[in-house]
Copies of this chain bind each other. A is one copy, B any other.
Amino acid sequence: MPAEAPHDHSPSAAIAAAEQLCATRGQNLTELRRSVLRIICAAERPIGAYAILDQLRSEGRSGAPPTVYRTLDFLLEQGLVHRLASLNAFVACCDPAERHGGQFLICEACGRVGELNSARVEATIVEEAAAVRFAVSAQTVEVLGRCAACLRLPAGPSA
């Protein structure tokens, strides 16, 4: 993975954590929502809405685009997944307990995405914006490059 991974990334662990979070928030992690979260976690890479839909169908579920987008809205609101604007795709959040805006490191070799979430980056953006009298309300930071693993293997792991 491109960046820090101080927690368990296995799908089942992520589901369990999500279950916990939703419970304490009084939110309902339904079967469909669990399925979509599991699909996103299992993907390891950003996955598009229609790819999620395909997987749902291959699991025997009926469904149409709104099914997926509604579910994604829920997962986004709960901070369980993030949306990558530059890819029109979704990734599981590495630390849903901590609400954070998104700073992402996207490896152009292996396609994997890590979260940066640097308070220093965020603060610098706010300061520099303030210098031109711009009041920040939300940031999108998506950084393309090569992750540690792919720097070690210039051929590039594709799995």
Q: Which residues of A contact B (CB under 8 A)?
A: 2-4, 85-86, 105, 107-108, 114, 116, 118, 120-121, 124-125, 128-129, 132-148, 151
Residues of B within 8 A of A116 (CB): 125, 128-129, 132, 134
Residues of B within 8 A of A121 (CB): 121, 124-125, 128
Whether the pair B136, A144 counts as a contact (CB closer than 8 A) is yes
Chain A interface secondary structure, helix, strand, loop or mixed?
mixed
Q: How far is the CA of A133 from the CA of B85 in the complex (A)?
A: 23
Closest B residue to A105 using CB positions: B134
Residues of B within 8 A of A136 (CB): 143-145
Residues of B within 8 A of A128 (CB): 116, 118, 120-121
Residues of B within 8 A of A2 (CB): 132, 134
Q: How far is the CA of A139 from the CA of B85 in the complex (A)?
A: 12
Whether the pair A138, B129 counts as a contact (CB closer than 8 A) is no
Whether the pair B141, A146 counts as a contact (CB closer than 8 A) is no
Assuming the A-B contacts A85-B86, A116-B128, A120-B124, are A140 and B137 also in contact, with contact meaning beta carbons closer than 8 angstroms in the complex? no
Closest B residue to A150 using CB positions: B135
